[in-house]
């Protein structure tokens, strides 16, 4: 997959070549085949229903939200951001890290939900459905996520700017959470050469996560 400069988004349907093993009885995973370059670009696929409008709508919604002052900044993170750098994985939703303007409210997401509702995107539980994609907004919650958001990169998706968390911060955020799928994310980022173990170790040290990284190294790399 290395060197592919494309993003393809499709949902499982009779005309799609998605792996049926990734399908769910209740939700349809969106599979993203993504670029390893600095920008997302689209690979038109004959015979496959490409859901480009989903990502474009999400990007436009986020940019409009920032322009209106509802949020100060945003960036994709989690599985969706990972797939800028790695092989395709299945995901049921998109996670968006956000910074909200002061003063902080008891419900910092209330104005986000109201903005989305006014544009026809109705909240469903903790997410807002944009097309087929539940989008979850997560306020930056510590120094690591605030720094990751400030240093996020702006990429181009079909002429629309889209903010994405950098690979090194994706890895260290995953390290700080420490679930099995988070370790898998770190390994995938290393394997794709999106980030080095040294870069992860340095950033982990900066955020007082050296012990967590040492445990990760011993578990996955020590013979």
Residues 89 and 45 in one domain: yes
Distance between CA atoms of 65 and 59, rounded to whole angstroms?
10
Per-residue pLDDT tens digits for 195-215: 999 999 999 999 999 999 999
Q: Which of 123, 148, 165 is the last residue of a domain?
A: 165
Distances (CA, A) of 39 to 60, 78, 156: 16, 18, 5
Please state the rounded mean pLDDT for residues 160-182.
Answer: 96
pLDDT at 13 over 80: no
**105 in a domain, yes or no?**
yes
Check residue 84 and give its pLDDT: 86
Count other C-beta atoms under 10 Å from residue 211's C-beta. Answer: 10
Q: Which of 165, 195, 214 is the last residue of a domain?
A: 165
Please state the rounded mean pLDDT for residues 173-190.
Answer: 96
pLDDT at 31 over 80: no
Residues 110 and 215 in one domain: no
Residues 159 and 125 in one domain: yes
**41 in a domain, yes or no?**
yes
Residues 86 and 30 in one domain: yes
Check residue 42 and give its pLDDT: 33
In this prediction, residue 66 has a pLDDT band, given cuts at 50, 70 and 90, of very high
**2 in a domain, yes or no?**
no
Instruction: Report percent pLDDT > 70 for the chain.
Output: 73
Which structural domain range is residue 98 located in? 8-165
Distance between CA atoms of 138 and 142, rounded to whole angstroms?
12
Residues 134 and 190 in one domain: no
Residues 34 and 80 in one domain: yes
Please state the rounded mean pLDDT for residues 156-174.
Answer: 94
Q: What is the pTM of this model?
A: 0.77
In this prediction, residue 104 has a pLDDT band, given cuts at 50, 70 and 90, of low
In this prediction, residue 52 has a pLDDT band, given cuts at 50, 70 and 90, of low
pLDDT at 105 over 80: no
When divided into structural domains, the chain yields a total of 2
Residues 202 and 97 in one domain: no
In this structure, what CATH number is given to the domain that contains residue 43?
Answer: 3.30.460
Residues 60 and 99 in one domain: yes
Check residue 53 and give its pLDDT: 72
What mean pLDDT value characterizes the chain? 79
Check residue 223 and give its pLDDT: 62
Residues 170 and 73 in one domain: no
Check residue 173 and give its pLDDT: 98
Residues 195 and 222 in one domain: yes
Residues 210 and 123 in one domain: no
Please state the rounded mean pLDDT for residues 153-180.
Answer: 94
Residues 155 and 69 in one domain: yes
Q: Which of 165, 191, 206 is the last residue of a domain?
A: 165
**3 in a domain, yes or no?**
no
Q: Which of 47-56, 120-129, 170-179 has the highest mean pLDDT?
A: 170-179
């Amino acid at each position: 997959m290395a060197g592919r400069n494309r993003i393809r988004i499709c949902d499982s349907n009779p005309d799609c070549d998605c792996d049926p093993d990734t399908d769910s009885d209740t939700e349809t995973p969106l599979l993203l085949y993504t670029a390893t370059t600095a920008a997302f670009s689209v690979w038109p696929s004959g015979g496959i229903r490409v859901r480009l409008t989903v990502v474009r709508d999400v990007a436009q919604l986020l940019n409009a939200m920032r322009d209106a002052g509802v949020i100060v900044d945003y960036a994709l993170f989690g599985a969706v951001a990972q797939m800028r750098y790695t092989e395709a994985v299945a995901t049921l939703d998109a996670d968006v890290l956000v910074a909200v303007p002061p003063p902080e409210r008891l419900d910092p997401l209330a104005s986000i939900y109201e903005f989305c509702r006014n544009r026809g995107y109705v909240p469903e539980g903790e997410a807002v459905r944009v097309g087929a994609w539940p989008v979850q907004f997560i306020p930056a919650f510590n120094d690591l996520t605030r720094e990751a958001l400030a240093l996020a990169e702006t990429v181009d998706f079909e002429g629309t700017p889209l903010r994405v968390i950098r690979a090194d911060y994706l890895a260290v955020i995953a390290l700080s959470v420490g679930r099995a799928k988070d370790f898998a994310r770190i390994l995938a980022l290393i394997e794709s050469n999106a980030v080095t173990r040294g870069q992860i170790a340095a950033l982990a040290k900066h955020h007082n996560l050296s012990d967590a990284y040492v445990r990760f190294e011993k578990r996955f790399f020590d013979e």
